[in-house]
Chain A
Amino acid sequence: ETGVTQSPTHLIKTRGQQVTLRCSSQSGHNTVSWYQQALGQGPQFIFQYYREEENGRGNFPPRFSGLQFPNYSSELNVNALELDDSALYLCASSPNVVNTEAFFGQGTRLTVV
């Protein structure tokens, strides 16, 4: 098992609500990347945080935002939830921005109803 922990593991929200997902990073890692994985598809890159700053972003709207804390743990916030936001949200921690030696958490399954 990796040292990357995500919470909560499952979550049900109503359309229009806001949600915060959390991710601890592996010891010694300073980079966290977030992904959205729809059923039967590959993870889609949302954004990456490196030393508390956003370092790269995929094709997701601004209502997807994040934070990284001094201990390198991270949060993903999604505002104005839509039904299509239902997915598995994964975070991965890495010792660098190229994401070598990345460890993934087990994911948070978000269902929007």
Chain B
Amino acid sequence: GENVEQHPSTLSVQEGDSAVIKCTYSDSASNYFPWYKQELGKGPQLIIDIRSNVGEKKDQRIAVTLNKTAKHFSLHITETQPEDSAVYFCAGHTNAGKSTFGDGTTLTVKP
């Protein structure tokens, strides 16, 4: 079955610095790759996504890149702020309705 590996498991940055989280996937059938932010006591919230026919997507301070050949995708957050502190999950989805999440990255942004 699909396996999604996410690194690092924890990340601490200074406010204003950039943060990068990386994921690799195994199932070639995966064609949709969302990133979610989960705050304590809440469900995951979609922050950005990318489809397999696109290499890069940007939304203000957040960007995602996808290398389909290497089967890896990354989340980039620039100009980090304390409110960016949360757990971030990557995921891979297929048309067959299956979803696989990474184990999460706890991001801490220090003021």
What range describes how many residues of A lie at the interface?
20 to 34
Cα distance A56–B104 when bound, in Å? Answer: 23
Distance between B110 CB and nearest chain A CB, rounded to angstroms: 22
Q: With the chains together, A100 CA to B32 CA distance in Å?
A: 8
Q: Least Cβ distance of A16 to chain B in Å?
A: 28
Pick from A42, A59, A103: contact of B89, CB under 8 Å: A42
B101 to chain A: which residues have CB within 8 Å? 35, 42-45
Given contacts A42-B89, A45-B100, A50-B97, contact A98 B32 (CB under 8 A): yes
* Chain A interface helix/strand/loop/mixed: loop
Interface residues of A in 92-113 (CB under 8 A from B): 92, 97-107
For the A-B complex, the count of residue pairs with Cβ-Cβ distances under 8 Å equals 74
Stretch from B14-22, B38-46, B54-62, B70-78 forming part of the interface with A? B38-46
B111 within 8 A of A: no
Contacts of B43 in A (CB 8 A): 2, 4, 90, 92, 104-107
What is the CA–CA distance of A4 and B34 in the complex, to the nearest angstrom? 18
Contact partners of A48 in chain B: CB under 8 A: 97-99
Docked complex Cα distance between A33 and B97 (Å): 8
- Subset of 7 A-B contacts with CB under 8 Å: A33-B97, A59-B1, A90-B43, A98-B93, A99-B32, A99-B99, A104-B45
